Amino acid sequence: MNTTTPPPVSAKGTSGFVRPLFKPGLLLEDEDLTAIVDYSSAMTRLLFSSLFGCGVICGLKITAMPVCKGQQLEIMVGKGLALDCSGNPIYVPTDQSAIIFDPGCEGFPATLWVTACYVADYCRPRSAACADDDDPQTVKTRMRDGFEIQIHQSLPEHACMCPANGHDDCGCVCNCGECVLIGVIELKSKYWADPDGKHLNPDAKIDVQVDRVRKIRPALRQPCGAAKLADAATGNDPHKREADEVGPSTLTPEHIAGLKARRAALLERQRVAKGEAAEQIGRELDEISRLLGG
C-alpha cells in the first residue's frame, strides 16, 4: 500500500510589488531610492482601496447660487477628503469658491454632475548632472499631489459613485477611475427665471443631491443601499449622520414597519440570488437587523 502523500497542485505568480534590498558597500542609484517610495505608496493605495473602497470620507459639501443676474451658476465646494478607486487620497485643504458654470447660449442643462479628481504634477526642477546632448538638461525632483473639481453636463463614465439601484460595495475590484462624485445639481423648473431655462432666478436656493454620492464615513464598507436605508429610516442628513447614532431607539413605528417590509422582500430575493448579489443582500439584511436591534 502506497502511503506517500501526493504533492499539492499549485499556481504561482508575482504580485507586482518589488522591495529594494541593500547590502554593505552597494552603490545606490536613483532608481533604488525611488523604489522605496514606490513600494510604500503602492502598498498604501492598495490597502486604502481594499479596506475602504472609493468615495467621500468627509467634507466636500457643495453649495450653489445663481450669479450674473442668473446667467451663470457659482459652485462652492467645502474642504474635505475622498479616495479614488486606486486608493489615491483626494485632499481639498481649503474651501473652493468661484467655480463658475456658464451655459452660454445653449441654456442650463437639467442636471450638473460635480466630481473631485486626483491629479499630480512634477515640480522642483534641478540641473541634470552629466546629461547627454539628447537628454533633458533639468529634471523634476518632486511630485505634488493635487485635486481638480469638475462640472459635467452628463453622467461621468468613470467617476466613483453609488449606482442608480443603490447596490454597490465599491471595493478593491472597482474600476471607476480617478474621480469621485461629490454631488448632483438638478436645475428644476422652479429655479428658472424664464421658461427656456437660459436664466436662473437670482434669488433661487439651489438644492444639491447626494443620493448617488458614496460615503466611506460614517458607513465604512456598507453597501450604498444600506447607508441610504439608514438615512431614510431616521430622516437624518447623510452629511451629519454617524453610524452609531442610528439604532432601534431612534426609529418611529412607521420606520420599523418599512424596514420589516424591506427585510421580507430581501429574504425572498435571497432565496434565488447567487454569488455577489447574494452577498450584497446579506449585508443589507445585516444592516436592517442592526437597525431593528436583532
Residue type, 220: L
- Claim to verify: residue 237 and residue 127 sit in the same structural domain: no
Whether 77 maps to a domain, the answer reads yes
Where a domain ends, among 201, 216, 231? 216
Enclosing domain of residue 231: 218-294
CB atoms within 10 A of CB 132: 8
> pLDDT tens digits for 170-218?
555 566 778 999 999 988 878 888 777 678 888 888 889 888 888 886 5
| Confidence at residue 232, expressed as pLDDT on a 0 to 100 scale | 53
pTM: 0.67
| Residue ranges in the chain modelled with pLDDT below 70 | 1-2, 129-136, 164-175, 197, 217-252, 254-255, 294
- Percent of the residues in the chain that have a pLDDT greater than 70, as a whole number: 79
CB burial class (10 A; 0-12, 13-18, 19+) of residue 249?
Answer: exposed
Where a domain ends, among 188, 216, 244? 216
| Confidence at residue 238, expressed as pLDDT on a 0 to 100 scale | 47
Whether 196 maps to a domain, the answer reads yes
> pLDDT tens digits for 132-156?
666 667 878 888 899 999 999 988 8
In 206-223, which positions are buried (b, 16+ CB within 10 angstroms) versus exposed (e)?
A: bebebebbbbbebbeebb
Determine contact, residues 197/187, Cβ cutoff 8 Å: yes
| Confidence at residue 241, expressed as pLDDT on a 0 to 100 scale | 45
